[in-house]
Structure 1
Amino acid sequence: MRTPTPTDLSSITALKARFGARYRWLLLMAVMVGTMASIMSSTIINVAIPDMSHHFSLGQGRAQWVSSGFMVAMTASMLTTPWLLGRYGYRRTYVGCMLLLMGGGIVGGLASQFGLVLAARVAEGLAAGVVQPIPAIIIMRAFEPHEQGRASGLFGMGVVLAPALGPSIGGVLVDLFGWRSIFFMVVPLCLLSLWMAYRYVLVTAPGGSAANRNGDMIDWRGLLLAAFGTLCLLNGMVALHGEGSNPLQAAVLLGAALAALAVFIGWQRRMAATQRMPLMNLALFRNRQFSMGSVVGFIYGTALFGSTYLLPVYMQLGLNLSASHAGTVLLPAGLVLAATIAFVGRLADKQPTWLLVTIGLGLLALSFALMVTINLGSALWLLAGLATLGRIGLGFILPSLTLGSLRPLHKDLMAQGVSAISFIRMLGGAIGVSLCGIVLEWRLATHGDSLANATSSPARLAAFNESFLMLAALCVIAMVAATQLRETPPAPVHKD
């Protein structure tokens, strides 16, 4: 009798035999832990930016790269997920990312130079980018359509607890132990995820096929073009603001980003025409729902990540709250978000996803617009209430947008579709962080104030308010695109 191999023991068939029908939920839970660690590493840093800026004597532009550098790395690496899964399988890809994420947290926490901190953040971003599309791929391939909403809701509820609890715990840690402590928060989650990976995560590639180490090489040219274009875009936006702003340099960099985009599209078309695996399958965008979902995802990413950067800065430098107070204000909003996602996930199995996404974007826009009512004398409960309203909106969007965009795709395109829409959403997020910094600095200058001043003022609050109104306007634009996520009814079949 043949001795079972590790591949045999970790196949879908073996997991079904060992754990029964619940194996899919155990698999989803295993990758949820790692995704929580990656999301926590992306958001928790925001409450430490003022303290870190003071430690390294950083200006607003350089401090912003702690968030933006992570976002650039995460955005580019998302495109590699389908290739990595096909070549190395779920488990090897996932374990490698967890080790890189944990290493980045340890190095960042021990670093004595800002350059090393930034390098650690880039390493964390690379790992987070590869990991984050994996749960959606599993949901779309392993779960039946009538279960996908519930699975997305359960997964989303668990994942949002990381950014919900992270800033609150991180704010306390920053106040007690300084900014270094927040880097080490991901280590326990990474260790737990490694244990669960060896117990529950498949070694196979998506679809149940064996990982093919002898398959096509990754599209390095496409990856370099994507990374180069993203870097030029972000650097071009950074060059638009700050004391050392350089409009000419910004124009050159933004022009290079557009050129890289054009070359990238041409190269991907050539890869597909020659029967090679492109980094991004452009055939995906022939589907109207996927295309509109990508537009919504881009704008939504800009608003979401821009506000994730802007809110802690607003509370600390605009409302003069401590880091721990800023985190505590966001805690109830995060808990409500988790509950909303679980509820909306079940709705997504029964209700039109375009309607849920539109409702969510409307609530998010309203929460941003109402921020203009906050002033230095406002009660904390009012600020917490507006943050909660926005998180309810997010709860409607998160499980619905991905399902509405991906359901029309063939299963063989699912990994590419998840990777592409995740890339587009995170590209919007990377732009959103810089865009909020640019708009905030522009409006501060217009009102005659600066974040370098020791105390806040009505002029500073006006600048923040106008930045929030910009985010509200973006959400309204996304609502228009979300109406195009309606599923096209199948054509009637005429019998002769």
Structure 2
Amino acid sequence: MTQVEAMFERYGPKYRLYVTITVLLGLVALGMSITIVNVATPYIKGAFGMSASQVQWLSTGFLAATTVTLLISPWLMSAFGQRKTYVGLLLVFIAASLLGGWSEGMGMVIAARVIQGAMTGVIRPVALEALFMVYPPEKRGLATAIYAMSLGLPLTLASVVGGFLVHDFNWRYVFFIVLPICVVAILMGLVFLPDREETGPKPKLDWIGATVLFVSIFALLAALANGQRWTWSSASILWLEAIALIGTVFFIWWEPRQERPILDLDIFKTREFLAGSIVLFLFGGAFYGVMYLLPQFMDSILAYSPVTSGILFTPSTLVLAVLVPLVGRLNDKLPPHWISVPALLVAAYATWRFAQADWSTSFFSLTVSMSLVATAIAAVPPPTLSRSIAALPPRLIGYGSGAINFALQLGGAFGTVLLVALLDRRTALHSAQLTHQGLTPGNPIAMEAIRQYGEIAARTGTSEVYQQAAGQVLLSRVDATWATIYAYQDGFLVVAVGLAIVTVPSYLLSRWGLARERQARAENAAQPQGT
């Protein structure tokens, strides 16, 4: 009798609920750490006098660490068991949160974010395996829906909670707020999660592969994040790109030659898994992109307070809470593309609405758009996860659960960093077009605007000698604001196009999965009945 069977015998059917609550607590606590610090970033920047390039490491380091440790998590569970892995990662996360909250300098807070990111990556495969362990195959759709809710809900919830914390308390509280949840999760994990079943020696970890992958991802993210500021042809950027390329080639060469690789590349020979990985990579980039762009837009263009920005995400949080259980039930009954493709099109439309936003867009309009985006958060990951992993042969399922999460997180990392670079580039381009090309004596509209702004300056007591110069300054500031607005609109439009593109691999994943099921049923029917 396995430990899980023994616990079912001890606690009865409620054991499934106990495990679900246990892993959800950890997922919500660590998931909130992804975006809750984003709300506090301007305050952290001011507290330590960080430059824009230094602030970027708060997210770049976190995302790189999260992405790589997703692949290490299966080894940790094999070596130490679910219980020790789950409890250990939460203890390390608590220590990192205390380090971040008590930071006295830039290095400490960046180190805290990297460690937080590493533990956030470890917990996801642990949680998914724990859920699959207690949910039978016919209820795996509900299990993946619960898991998907724990990916999206904390991100929106963190924006709400973080807004209140930085407004009414201090930025340091964003590191402390989830610690009580972590403590409860540790206590429940000690009781309800199984220990290591194997009695043999612990498997070896592919440290070389893990290190090379981390360095490669970190180098590429750093190059993309800083290319606009350092110039793309600078020696630093070229070195980072070379490190990323060489590391990736070495990793692809190295992994198949290992007895226990951190990523078995054979999983990508299954076309359903490959399609699912593409879906979650692109969807991760789009979703994390919206979660980056929207708060920045509300802060820099609409001048919303952190509390107001947080309130805007409240309806989308409620949408997730309502839709996820519904999607979980439908996921086991309907073809996946009936759920995911309409949700992706709705999200693409909602993001297109964001691409029309400017400084006159209402709070209600943004709230509606974000709520529509939440439908995709609830409806896309569950069927994608379940179909992708179910298509793998049994020996690769352990690798698949880590790799599919890796694809989602990697897409989020690259999506966020690419949008940062896009904003910098498009802002500079639009600024040049508006100010340097549009503000000329031959442009009657610009000249009339300068005259009107000069009249405004005159009403404030500006001398007649300086009124035209004051008008030019005011017009330049307005042009700079509009350049930023246009850059955000470009960013949202790119995300909308990306969501529309995701419908193609999402549809293929569903059709290929259904074809595989039909083939399996036909083969089973053709087999002679045993006596």
Tell me if structure 1 keeps the 8 A contact 2:355–2:491. no
**Mapping of residues 172-187 of structure 1, within 5 Å:** 172-187=164-179
**Mapping of residues 65-104 of structure 1, within 5 Å:** 65-104=57-96
- SS at structure 2 position matched to 1:133: helix
- C-alpha distance in 1, partners of 2:107/2:227? 22
Aligned-residue offset at 1:159: 5.4
Where does residue 230 of structure 1 map in the other structure?
A: 217
User: In structure 2, do the counterparts of structure 1 residues 251 and 472 end up closer, same or farther at CA, with 3 Å as the change threshold?
Assistant: farther
Establish whether residue 320 from structure 1 lines up as the match of residue 344 from structure 2.
Answer: no
- C-alpha distance in 2, partners of 1:383/1:43? 19
Where does residue 54 of structure 1 map in the other structure?
A: 46
Establish whether residue 479 from structure 1 lines up as the match of residue 508 from structure 2.
Answer: no
Aligned-residue offset at 1:245: 6.1
Where does residue 221 of structure 1 map in the other structure?
A: 208
Tell me if structure 2 keeps the 8 A contact 1:268–1:278. yes
Tell me if structure 1 keeps the 8 A contact 2:428–2:483. no
Tell me if structure 1 keeps the 8 A contact 2:152–2:378. no
Where does residue 421 of structure 2 map in the other structure?
A: 438
- C-alpha distance in 2, partners of 1:137/1:431? 26
Tell me if structure 1 keeps the 8 A contact 2:232–2:238. no
AA at the equivalent of 2:421: I
Q: Please give the per-residue CA displacement for 1:354-399, whole angstroms capped at 9, x wherever unaligned.
A: 3322222222221111113322222211110001111112111121
- C-alpha distance in 2, partners of 1:88/1:148? 25
AA at the equivalent of 1:49: T
User: Pairwise CA RMSD of aligned residues?
Assistant: 2.2
User: In structure 2, do the counterparts of structure 1 residues 297 and 160 end up closer, same or farther at CA, with 3 Å as the change threshold?
Assistant: closer
Aligned-residue offset at 1:263: 1.1
Where does residue 250 of structure 1 map in the other structure?
A: 237
Q: Please give the per-residue CA displacement for 1:428-452, whole angstroms capped at 9, x wherever unaligned.
A: 11111211100011111112189xx
Q: Please give the per-residue CA displacement for 1:321-343, whole angstroms capped at 9, x wherever unaligned.
A: 11111111111112212211221
User: In structure 2, do the counterparts of structure 1 residues 310 and 37 end up closer, same or farther at CA, with 3 Å as the change threshold?
Assistant: same
Deviation larger for 147-156 or 300-309 = 147-156
- C-alpha distance in 1, partners of 2:173/2:233? 35
Selected match of 1:368 from 324, 347, 351: 351
Aligned-residue offset at 1:168: 1.0
Tell me if structure 2 keeps the 8 A contact 1:157–1:339. no
Aligned-residue offset at 1:248: 4.0
- SS at structure 2 position matched to 1:346: helix
Selected match of 1:384 from 367, 379, 385: 367
Selected match of 2:192 from 200, 221, 224: 200
User: In structure 2, do the counterparts of structure 1 residues 495 and 125 end up closer, same or farther at CA, with 3 Å as the change threshold?
Assistant: closer
- C-alpha distance in 2, partners of 1:238/1:103? 28
AA at the equivalent of 2:127: P
Selected match of 1:163 from 155, 163, 173: 155
Q: Please give the per-residue CA displacement for 1:407-437, whole angstroms capped at 9, x wherever unaligned.
A: 1123442221010111122111111121110
- SS at structure 1 position matched to 2:303: coil
**Structure 2 residue ranges without an equivalent (≥5):** 435-475
Selected match of 2:378 from 386, 395, 399: 395
Aligned-residue offset at 1:244: 6.5
Establish whether residue 463 from structure 1 lines up as the match of residue 463 from structure 2.
Answer: no
Amino-acid identity (%): 30
Selected match of 2:256 from 269, 279, 300: 269
TM-score, structure 2 normalization: 0.85
Aligned-residue offset at 1:258: 2.1
AA at the equivalent of 1:436: L
User: In structure 2, do the counterparts of structure 1 residues 60 and 417 end up closer, same or farther at CA, with 3 Å as the change threshold?
Assistant: same
Establish whether residue 490 from structure 1 lines up as the match of residue 519 from structure 2.
Answer: yes
AA at the equivalent of 2:409: M
Establish whether residue 308 from structure 1 lines up as the match of residue 332 from structure 2.
Answer: no
AA at the equivalent of 1:131: I
- SS at structure 1 position matched to 2:337: helix
Tell me if structure 2 keeps the 8 A contact 1:153–1:342. yes
**Mapping of residues 7-46 of structure 1, within 5 Å:** 11-46=3-38
Where does residue 119 of structure 1 map in the other structure?
A: 111
Aligned-residue offset at 1:285: 1.1
Establish whether residue 110 from structure 1 lines up as the match of residue 102 from structure 2.
Answer: yes
Deviation larger for 155-164 or 92-101 = 155-164
AA at the equivalent of 2:396: L
How many pairs are equivalent? 477
Tell me if structure 2 keeps the 8 A contact 1:298–1:424. yes
Bigger CA radius of gyration: 2
AA at the equivalent of 2:333: K
Deviation larger for 393-402 or 436-445 = 393-402
Selected match of 1:334 from 301, 314, 317: 317
- C-alpha distance in 2, partners of 1:246/1:53? 28
- SS at structure 2 position matched to 1:240: helix
Deviation larger for 162-171 or 215-224 = 162-171
Deviation larger for 11-20 or 357-366 = 357-366
AA at the equivalent of 1:11: Q
Aligned-residue offset at 1:199: 1.4
Where does residue 143 of structure 1 map in the other structure?
A: 135
Where does residue 4 of structure 1 map in the other structure?
A: none
Tell me if structure 2 keeps the 8 A contact 1:164–1:335. no
Where does residue 471 of structure 2 map in the other structure?
A: none
Q: Please give the per-residue CA displacement for 1:186-235, whole angstroms capped at 9, x wherever unaligned.
A: 2111111111111111113xxxx3364x2331001110111111111111
User: In structure 2, do the counterparts of structure 1 residues 165 and 16 end up closer, same or farther at CA, with 3 Å as the change threshold?
Assistant: same
User: In structure 2, do the counterparts of structure 1 residues 159 and 393 end up closer, same or farther at CA, with 3 Å as the change threshold?
Assistant: closer
AA at the equivalent of 2:203: D
TM-score, structure 1 normalization: 0.91
Q: Please give the per-residue CA displacement for 1:57-105, whole angstroms capped at 9, x wherever unaligned.
A: 3333322221221111111111111111011000000011000111111
Where does residue 349 of structure 1 map in the other structure?
A: 332
- C-alpha distance in 1, partners of 2:153/2:288? 16
**Structure 1 residue ranges without an equivalent (≥5):** 1-7
AA at the equivalent of 1:490: Q
AA at the equivalent of 2:96: G
Aligned-residue offset at 1:134: 1.6
User: In structure 2, do the counterparts of structure 1 residues 136 and 174 end up closer, same or farther at CA, with 3 Å as the change threshold?
Assistant: same
Q: Please give the per-residue CA displacement for 1:163-191, whole angstroms capped at 9, x wherever unaligned.
A: 23221121111012231111111211111
AA at the equivalent of 1:468: F
- SS at structure 2 position matched to 1:295: helix
Deviation larger for 242-251 or 394-403 = 242-251
AA at the equivalent of 1:394: I
Where does residue 5 of structure 1 map in the other structure?
A: none
